[in-house]
């Protein structure tokens, strides 16, 4: 198999309708090896839907999705699973599994010793070792989220070739310190291991601090694509989110958004604006 080792994910002109509503409209983005891209946008903008199309969880209706240079539809599932892992916004667990057993579900390769070593390593990295023998259902929301992330990371840990992580609000239940822990780890995987990471995130300052690039969605479209410094402007925040905000350039080299209130001037949800539904 010949990979396009540079461009790990390419989404071109993807449109999607569900239940008679336009959900995505010619959405496009690309993601390079070693890049951490934050996908931003207001509630209902289409971020999760785009991620689901990119992961194959929603069938492609219009447009093109390529993973490592190959059309998503022609990947064989087992082969794709070695190169692409997905963390959906909500993960339901209906079995009485312990945290360790959940992480083990992501370990597909290696000897039993290697798998155990990886499981313990990831439990430690995500600071959930002490919870390893607890039933997942008894863990707090943030604890469960870190265990699920460990499972998703386990899937690609020993893979060779392109590695693509699609993460939908993977830190939404985490406290600020744990958010830093997770995004620090993602940054390391991108910079040191060449992972390509697409992370849907609502926390603008987390995105600014850790992402190489931001793509802002609104009304089903990928409207803005650029560095945190270029994208996070008061004008964009008011126009897209209806958020009044000051943006300060930090000495650390990235911007910080200081919210000042709402202006009520955001884009209307796409479906409403189009009179559909």
> What does the binding site for ligand ATP look like in residue numbers (CB under 6 A)?
18-19, 21, 23, 41, 43-49, 269, 271
Q: Nearest-CA neighbor of 265 among 246, 239, 233, 244?
A: 239
Give the whole-angstrom CA distance, residue 191 versus residue 196: 9
Least separation in angstroms between CB 50 and ligand ATP: 7
Least separation in angstroms between CB 45 and ligand ATP: 4
Q: Is 141 exposed, middle or buried (0-12, 13-18, 19+ CB in 10 A)?
A: exposed
Least separation in angstroms between CB 2 and ligand ATP: 33
**Quick one: residue 222, left, alpha or beta (phi over 0 = left, psi -120 to 50 = alpha)?**
beta
Nearer residue to ligand ATP within complex by CB, 17 or 178: 17
Nearer residue to ligand ATP within complex by CB, 52 or 83: 52
Q: Report CA Rg, the chain.
A: 19
Q: Which residue has the tokens 């008679």?
A: 20
Nearer residue to ligand ATP within complex by CB, 7 or 47: 47
Nearer residue to ligand ATP within complex by CB, 28 or 32: 28
- The SS3 assignment for 70 reads strand
Q: Which tokens sit at 156?
A: 């690609």
Nearer residue to ligand ATP within complex by CB, 8 or 23: 23
Least separation in angstroms between CB 47 and ligand ATP: 4
Least separation in angstroms between CB 209 and ligand ATP: 20
Give the whole-angstrom CA distance, residue 150 versus residue 126: 7
Least separation in angstroms between CB 270 and ligand ATP: 7
Nearer residue to ligand ATP within complex by CB, 152 or 216: 216
Residue partners of 103: CB distance under 8 A and separation at least 6: 119, 122, 123, 147, 150, 151, 154
Least separation in angstroms between CB 117 and ligand ATP: 36
Give the whole-angstrom CA distance, residue 35 versus residue 186: 10
Give the whole-angstrom CA distance, residue 139 versus residue 201: 23
Contact 65, 14 (CB under 8 A): yes
Nearer residue to ligand ATP within complex by CB, 156 or 204: 204
């Amino acid at each position: 198999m010949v990979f396009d080792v540079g461009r790990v994910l390419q989404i071109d002109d993807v449109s999607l309708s569900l239940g008679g509503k336009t959900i995505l409209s010619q959405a496009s983005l690309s993601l390079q090896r070693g890049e951490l891209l934050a996908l931003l946008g207001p509630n209902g903008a289409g971020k999760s839907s785009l991620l689901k199309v990119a992961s194959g969880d929603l069938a492609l209706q219009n447009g093109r999705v390529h993973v490592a240079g190959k059309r998503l539809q022609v990947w064989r599932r087992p082969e794709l699973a070695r190169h692409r892992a997905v963390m959906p916004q909500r993960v339901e667990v209906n079995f009485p599994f312990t945290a360790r057993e959940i992480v083990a579900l992501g370990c597909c390769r290696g000897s039993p010793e290697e798998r155990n070593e990886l499981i313990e390593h990831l439990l430690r990295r995500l600071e959930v070792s002490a919870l390893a023998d607890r039933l997942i259902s008894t863990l707090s929301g943030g604890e469960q989220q870190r265990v699920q992330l460990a499972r998703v990371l386990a899937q690609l840990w020993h893979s060779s070739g392109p590695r693509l992580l699609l993460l939908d609000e993977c830190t939404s239940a985490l406290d600020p310190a744990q958010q830093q822990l997770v995004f620090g780890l993602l940054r390391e995987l991108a910079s040191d291991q060449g992972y390509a990471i697409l992370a849907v995130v609502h926390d603008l300052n987390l995105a600014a601090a850790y992402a190489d690039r931001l793509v802002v969605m609104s009304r089903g479209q990928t409207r803005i694509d650029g560095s945190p410094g270029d994208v996070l402007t008061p004008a964009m925040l008011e126009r897209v989110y209806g958020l009044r905000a000051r943006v300060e350039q930090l000495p650390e080299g990235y911007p910080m958004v200081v919210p000042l209130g709402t202006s009520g001037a955001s884009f209307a949800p796409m479906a409403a604006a189009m009179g559909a539904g």
